Structure 1
């Protein structure tokens, strides 16, 4: 799921690919509340994963975010 998340961040949210690392924090990649909302919308429309922006903002690193998304996908 990390690679899928990375692709969305780079291609849809225009995050620089070299900044997207599993250990990178949301702040380091510029994932603010508006970007989290956009990410939640992309995850919903493209992958059918229902996740709220505040849940994404509760994670610290991109690896944690990928785990959250993967867990939600497994539930869906």
Structure 2
């Protein structure tokens, strides 16, 4: 999954602010809390068949790290 595709999911599915979404941003900095992590995990699974646990999402230090995790899972 590319950065741009993750960004689209965050904006359209989770209603996060597009202008705050930069790869170096921390999850909390963009409003991605534990509830949003659950929603993101569900969205990734239902839309793309990618399984990532909510706690794995929250363990990501930045959006770039999250994109790498999702990319790794999508190719596994």
- Normalised by the size of structure 2, how large is the TM-score? 0.96
User: Which structure 2 segments of 5+ residues have no match?
Assistant: none
- Normalised by the size of structure 1, how large is the TM-score? 0.96
**Distance in 1 (alpha carbons) for counterparts of 2:51 and 2:40:** 11
Match in the other structure for 1:13: 14
State the shift of 1:22 in Å. 0.3
State the shift of 1:18 in Å. 0.2
Match in the other structure for 1:52: 53
How many corresponding residue pairs?
75
RMSD: 0.5
Structure 1 runs (4+) greater than 4 angstroms displaced: none
Cα deviations across residues 25-72 of structure 1 (Å, max 9, x unaligned)?
A: 001111000000000000000000011000000101000000000000
